[in-house]
């Protein structure tokens, strides 16, 4: 096999001096092996049909005989090589795919086992030794393992495939003649050899490049009488096929049909193949597998690949050739492949134009982004039409020239058509991808999908995608520019990632607000109530994450969202539209936002965000004096103004002690004004003082004024964006708790004055000295508890939290969201610590309930001491009457008896003892719960209340909380009565 002529030899053809035309195969043989060409010095006239030559020479006869022998040998080699070429051209290669790596070695072993008898017989005739099939298979296995493991060859599979196709053991590769080393074939073997058609190729078997051919003889070669001078190998092959009654299809007809296909129109001989119903799919039949219809999604075996089996009926899936190839001409497989590749552009063209026609008809989602996309596609298709016009002119130029002898480089061919349309084909593919995305998403989501293709490795696709984005993103940037510079949302098709909340209702017609932003006029809702600015700020617009383009990060998108909201809030809620218009004019005077300048986009948005946020904070702090209102809430609702609180408590105490049903609001308002005029509150801003008001909460039967009184601070827009309903509810909770604590403090203070000063007069009453001493001790414990609790609330919680909030506001950083978050953090910390709330749900208000119980016990104790004081006064009066009677002075008669007085004293003593024991039990529980609290400050409060370990000692000695245990414990802390 090594002596076959190489196909890689020089392609320079010898130019014989004779004018006689050679056959195409002889010319092909000379081009493959130039050494076989006749010498130029002989001037040989070669007859290709007869194979005879006449040599004109003036050399001696002996030298002429030698030359005749050489010439005869050369002609024999040429004839043999021509037979090989004819055999190769008429051979049929199997269409099966090459064997895989797992089956190819097994197939080789099986062939060795099956073909060993024939091989052995041939070896025996030559006198060689033969071996069994199993031994040869074992040898092959060892060689194959060395090739795979030793990595002697980078890819041994193709070599094994080639050896199998050329092996004598191949049952389908039966040679009819064996060429010698010098390409000499005897005339007898040549005449007696018979060639039969090869059997049909069987899949999963080897392929042979030397299939048996039909005997053609030398007459077929002599019948090819045409001039091949100056023709290429492809032209020679075409001429040879024409001589075999396989004339090629006229190329100008294929070119014309191809231009029709490029426009999405069926040609006369080639047309688009449409997807039939699943039960009538011709591409799954034997005809489809034979390749008569070439489809884009079809595999080599004629089956539809995974993911391509579903589609709409009538969809383009390929092309089919409807010409009669036996009559009109033969269309080769390479030509069919080129037609299929070119027709793909027509399919892409139809899909792109379908989207444009659909959107122009008003179907689909619509939107400004899709309109921009259709405009860009229409422009690109105009360029495509211009290219088709140029190609058609080239085709007409081809038809005017001589078809047999076209000018070099002139005219249009299918290959040139493919090369000239390659760039446009890539663009059409990219446009088709964008069209497919446009059918699924719209607006910012479509821009984001297109942006993903900008990371393509092909520079042409990357630049073209940038051009698409530059055009498609224009509506997005127009909406963005209006949003971040004017605060207006002009988005009629909901394509921007900032959208109006569908829950918001317009005032004018009671329907959902239109896409065109008109603002919340004067902050009034549909029911006619003053709408909270918090609702305007928080719920008017929503951030749609799925509509954010890919070149805008989520954090950057939220910054854009905050910028527009700030400007919109300034315009419609703060009434500062003049400043917005001025800023919009300044911003629009600069360069417009566009996709090609993303760095400038970031700078513009950062500047707009900073300016809008600072302006909004200035409006809140300077124009609407937000800090003054927050300070007023701290002074009045958190009872930070001591003088005002004392006067208000003193003025309201007589009224609030009465039943709640007897209260009137104008009385409470009058007392409030008296407290303001009598304290330093009178020097505050009148706008702040007019917001203070007293109100009565809902009450039930039996409640007093202390249970339903509340101090109110009115907040209007736009301040209620920060001080929203939830925040004011927390302020009310704080006031309720601190007001109760203040009431207990006031009651305990008045009781302390009576116990410490008034009781001195009645200590001389027999049996009362220990009672008043006991009251003073218990009262001191209560005062200690209240003082530590108030100091913790006012100094460690409220003042520290307020100072942290003031430090934040002085920086003036962030936007309104940051200010709202800082205020919520400040208020949440105060509520959590003042109300002693726990982070555990099951123990959230246990400590607060214990403190409230202790406050109620203090009030009960104060009532008991008041009763003791009244009894002491009555007893002192009775004793004075008795002494007057002894001196002979008689006063008004009295019905008091010593027995009744003794019973009353016993009842009062029992009440005081119960209050004392209950209070200490509550303090033990408070210290225990506060000591195990999650908040470190609350744990420190427990240390301050029980700093000497008194309550912990009581808890260790008396685990029970019964009255007897309390009685024994009380006996250890007070002297025995006489």
Q: What would the pLDDT profile of 454-463 be if each residue is shown by its tens digit?
A: 888 888 999 9
CA dist 391 and 380 (Å) reads 17
- Of 242, 294, 524, 521, the closest CA to residue 404 belongs to 242
In a domain, 124, yes or no: no
Provide the percentage of residues in the chain whose pLDDT is more than 70. 70
- Of 700, 716, 691, 666, the closest CA to residue 531 belongs to 716
What is residue 131's predicted lDDT score, i.e. its pLDDT?
Answer: 59
- Of 269, 281, 400, the closest CA to residue 336 belongs to 269
In this structure, are 638 and 757 located in the same domain? no
Tokens of 835: 């109300």
CA dist 878 and 10 (Å) reads 149
In this structure, are 376 and 424 located in the same domain? yes
In this structure, are 493 and 612 located in the same domain? yes
The tens digit of pLDDT for each residue in 900-926 reads: 778 888 898 899 999 999 999 999 999
In this structure, are 545 and 676 located in the same domain? no
CB 709 within 8 A of CB 696: yes
Beta-carbon contacts of 803 under 8 Å, excluding residues fewer than 6 positions away, are: none
In this structure, are 561 and 694 located in the same domain? no
Domains held by the chain: number: 4
CB 647 within 8 A of CB 639: no
CB 716 within 8 A of CB 530: yes
CA dist 150 and 144 (Å) reads 10
CA dist 467 and 752 (Å) reads 87
The tens digit of pLDDT for each residue in 366-378 reads: 688 888 899 899 9
In a domain, 271, yes or no: yes
Model confidence at 315, pLDDT cuts 50, 70, 90, reads confident
In a domain, 966, yes or no: no
**Mean of the pLDDT values across residues 270-280?**
71
What is residue 692's predicted lDDT score, i.e. its pLDDT?
Answer: 93
Opening angle at CA 905, ends 904 and 906, nearest 5: 90
The tens digit of pLDDT for each residue in 44-90 reads: 444 433 344 443 434 445 566 777 888 888 888 888 888 877 777 66
CA dist 205 and 776 (Å) reads 114
| Of 675, 702, 723, the domain-final residue | 723
In a domain, 365, yes or no: yes
In this structure, are 579 and 636 located in the same domain? no
In a domain, 13, yes or no: no
Beta-carbon contacts of 391 under 8 Å, excluding residues fewer than 6 positions away, are: 259, 262, 412, 417, 420, 421
- pLDDT: which is higher, 541 or 517: 541
Tokens of 811: 């920086």
Among 102-106, 507-511, 549-553, which is the least confidently predicted range? 507-511
CB 605 within 8 A of CB 565: no
CB 310 within 8 A of CB 337: no
In this structure, are 777 and 729 located in the same domain? yes
Model confidence at 893, pLDDT cuts 50, 70, 90, reads low
In a domain, 292, yes or no: no
The tens digit of pLDDT for each residue in 160-175 reads: 777 776 666 655 554 4
Rg (CA), the chain: 54
SS (H, E, C) 13-64: CCCCCCCCCCCHHHHHHHHHCHHHCCCHHHCCEECCCCCCEECCCCCCHHHH
Measure the N-to-C terminal CA separation of the chain; round to a whole number of Å.
140
CATH of the domain at 945: 1.20.120
CB 271 within 8 A of CB 347: no
CB 620 within 8 A of CB 819: yes
What is residue 63's predicted lDDT score, i.e. its pLDDT?
Answer: 63
CB 693 within 8 A of CB 600: no
Phi–psi pair at 885, nearest 5 degrees:
-65, -35
**Mean of the pLDDT values across residues 809-815?**
90
The boundaries of the domain holding residue 390 are: 246-279+313-400+410-439
Tokens of 544: 């749609």
In a domain, 854, yes or no: yes
Tokens of 671: 């007392």
CA dist 728 and 321 (Å) reads 81
In this structure, are 497 and 629 located in the same domain? no
In a domain, 324, yes or no: yes
CA dist 295 and 234 (Å) reads 27
User: In which element (H, E) is residue 436 found?
Assistant: helix 422-438
What is residue 830's predicted lDDT score, i.e. its pLDDT?
Answer: 95
CA dist 295 and 319 (Å) reads 6
Residue 269 has pLDDT above 70, yes or no: yes
- Of 222, 219, 238, the closest CA to residue 21 belongs to 222
Residue 828 has pLDDT above 80, yes or no: yes
CB 816 within 8 A of CB 613: yes
In this structure, are 676 and 768 located in the same domain? no
- pLDDT: which is higher, 128 or 421: 421
pTM for this prediction: 0.65
In this structure, are 758 and 708 located in the same domain? no
| Of 575, 608, 623, the domain-final residue | 623
The tens digit of pLDDT for each residue in 607-622 reads: 889 999 999 999 999 9
Query: Does residue 149 have a cis bond before it (omega within 30 degrees)?
Result: no
The tens digit of pLDDT for each residue in 730-748 reads: 999 999 999 999 999 999 9
For residue 798, what are the β-bridge partners?
none
CA dist 398 and 411 (Å) reads 4
Using CB atoms within 10 A of its CB, is residue 389 exposed (0-12), middle (13-18) or buried (19+)? exposed
In this structure, are 628 and 738 located in the same domain? no
| Of 723, 738, 760, the domain-final residue | 723
Provide the percentage of residues in the chain whose pLDDT is more than 90. 23
Model confidence at 810, pLDDT cuts 50, 70, 90, reads very high
User: In which element (H, E) is residue 293 found?
Assistant: strand 293-295
Beta-carbon contacts of 575 under 8 Å, excluding residues fewer than 6 positions away, are: none
CA dist 238 and 246 (Å) reads 9
Beta-carbon contacts of 692 under 8 Å, excluding residues fewer than 6 positions away, are: 632, 636, 672, 676, 711, 712, 713
Using CB atoms within 10 A of its CB, is residue 476 exposed (0-12), middle (13-18) or buried (19+)? buried
Residue 292 has pLDDT above 80, yes or no: no
In this structure, are 748 and 639 located in the same domain? no
Beta-carbon contacts of 224 under 8 Å, excluding residues fewer than 6 positions away, are: 23, 24, 25, 48, 239, 240, 243
The tens digit of pLDDT for each residue in 693-716 reads: 999 988 888 888 898 999 999 998
């Amino acid at each position: 096999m090594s002596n076959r002529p190489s196909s890689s030899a020089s392609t320079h053809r010898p130019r014989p001096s004779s004018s006689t035309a050679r056959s195409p195969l002889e010319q092909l043989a000379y081009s493959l092996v130039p050494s076989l060409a006749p010498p130029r010095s002989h001037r040989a006239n070669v007859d290709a049909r007869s194979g005879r030559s006449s040599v004109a020479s003036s050399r001696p006869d002996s030298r002429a005989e030698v030359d005749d022998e050489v010439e005869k040998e050369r002609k024999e080699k040429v004839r043999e090589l021509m037979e090989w070429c004819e055999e190769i051209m008429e051979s049929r290669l199997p269409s099966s795919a090459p064997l895989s790596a797992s089956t190819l070695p097994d197939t080789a072993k099986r062939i060795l086992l099956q073909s060993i008898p024939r091989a052995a017989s041939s070896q025996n005739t030559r006198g060689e030794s033969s071996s069994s099939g199993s031994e040869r298979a074992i040898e092959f296995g060892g060689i194959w393992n060395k090739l795979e493991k030793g990595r002697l060859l980078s890819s041994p599979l193709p070599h094994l495939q080639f050896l199998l196709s050329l092996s004598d053991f191949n049952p389908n590769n039966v040679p009819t003649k064996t060429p010698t080393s010098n390409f000499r074939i005897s005339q007898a073997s040549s005449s007696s050899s018979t060639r039969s058609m090869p059997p049909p190729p069987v899949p999963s078997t080897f392929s042979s490049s030397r299939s048996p051919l039909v005997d053609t003889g030398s007459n077929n070669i002599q019948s090819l009488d045409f001039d091949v001078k100056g023709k290429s190998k492809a032209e020679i092959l075409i001429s040879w096929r024409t001589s075999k009654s396989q004339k090629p299809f006229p190329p100008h007809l294929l070119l014309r049909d191809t231009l029709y296909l490029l426009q999405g129109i069926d040609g006369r001989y080639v047309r688009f193949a449409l997807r039939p119903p699943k039960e009538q799919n011709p591409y799954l039949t034997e005809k489809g597998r034979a390749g008569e219809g070439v489809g884009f999604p079809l595999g080599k075996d004629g089956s539809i690949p995974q993911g391509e089996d579903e589609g709409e009926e009538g969809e383009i899936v390929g092309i089919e050739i409807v010409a009669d190839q036996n009559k009109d001409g033969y269309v080769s497989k390479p030509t069919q492949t080129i037609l299929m590749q070119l027709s793909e552009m027509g399919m892409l063209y139809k899909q792109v134009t379908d989207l444009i026609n659909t959107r122009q008809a008003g179907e689909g989602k619509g939107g400004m982004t899709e309109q921009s996309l259709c405009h860009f596609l229409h422009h690109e298709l105009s360029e495509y039409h211009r290219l088709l016009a140029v190609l058609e002119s080239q085709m007409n130029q081809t038809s005017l020239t001589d078809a047999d002898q076209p000018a070099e480089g002139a005219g249009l061919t299918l290959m040139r058509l493919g090369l000239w349309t390659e760039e446009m084909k890539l663009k059409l593919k990219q446009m088709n991808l964008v069209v497919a995305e446009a059918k699924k998403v719209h607006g910012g989501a479509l821009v984001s999908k297109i942006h993903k293709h900008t990371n393509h490795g092909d520079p042409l696709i990357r630049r073209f995608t940038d051009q698409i984005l530059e055009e498609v993103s224009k509506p997005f940037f127009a909406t963005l520019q209006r949003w971040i510079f004017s605060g207006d949302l002009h988005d009629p098709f909901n394509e921007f990632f900032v959208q109006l909340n569908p829950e918001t209702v317009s005032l004018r017609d009671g329907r959902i607000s239109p896409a065109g932003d008109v603002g919340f006029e004067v902050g009034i809702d549909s029911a006619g109530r003053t709408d909270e600015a918090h609702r305007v700020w928080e719920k008017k617009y929503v951030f749609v994450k799925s509509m954010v383009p890919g070149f805008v990060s989520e954090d950057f998108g939220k910054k854009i969202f905050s910028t527009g909201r700030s400007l919109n809030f300034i315009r419609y809620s703060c009434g500062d539209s003049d400043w917005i218009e001025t800023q919009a004019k300044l911003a629009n005077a600069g360069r417009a936002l566009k996709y090609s300048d993303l760095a400038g986009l970031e700078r513009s948005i950062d500047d707009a965000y900073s300016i809008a946020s600072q302006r909004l904070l200035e409006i809140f702090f300077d124009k609407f004096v937000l800090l003054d209102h927050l300070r007023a809430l701290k002074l009045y609702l958190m009872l930070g103004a001591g003088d005002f609180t004392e006067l208000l408590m003193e003025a309201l105490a007589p009224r609030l002690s009465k039943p709640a049903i007897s209260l009137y609001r104008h009385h409470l308002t009058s007392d409030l004004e008296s407290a303001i005029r009598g304290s330093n509150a009178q020097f505050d801003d009148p706008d702040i003082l007019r917001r203070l008001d007293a109100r009565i909460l809902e009450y039930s039967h039996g409640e007093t004024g202390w249970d339903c009184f509340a101090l109110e601070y009115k907040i209007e827009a736009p301040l209620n964006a920060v001080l929203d309903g939830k925040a004011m509810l927390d302020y009310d909770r704080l006031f309720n708790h601190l007001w109760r604590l203040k009431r207990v403090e006031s009651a305990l203070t008045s009781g302390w004055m009576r116990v410490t000063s008034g009781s001195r007069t009645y200590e001389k009453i027999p049996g009362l000295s220990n009672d008043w001493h006991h009251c003073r001790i218990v009262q001191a414990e209560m005062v200690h508890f209240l003082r530590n609790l108030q100091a913790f609330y006012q100094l460690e919680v409220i003042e520290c939290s307020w100072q942290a909030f003031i430090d934040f506001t002085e920086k003036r950083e962030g936007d309104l969201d940051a200010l709202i978050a800082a205020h919520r953090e400040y208020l949440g910390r105060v509520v959590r610590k003042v109300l002693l709330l726990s982070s555990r749900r099951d123990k959230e208000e246990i400590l607060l309930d214990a403190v409230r119980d202790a406050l109620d016990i203090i009030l009960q104790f104060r009532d008991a001491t008041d009763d003791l004081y009244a009894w002491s006064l009555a007893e002192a009066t009775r004793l004075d009457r008795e002494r007057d009677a002894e001196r002979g002075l008689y006063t008004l008669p009295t019905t008091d008896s010593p027995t009744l007085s003794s019973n009353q004293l016993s009842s009062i003593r029992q009440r005081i003892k119960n209050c004392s024991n209950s209070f200490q039990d509550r303090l033990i529980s408070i210290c225990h719960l506060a000591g195990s609290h999650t908040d470190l400050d609350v744990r420190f409060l427990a240390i301050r209340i029980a700093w000497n370990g008194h309550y912990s000692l009581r808890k260790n000695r008396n685990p029970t909380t019964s009255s007897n245990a309390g009685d024994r414990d009380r006996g250890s802390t007070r002297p025995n009565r006489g």
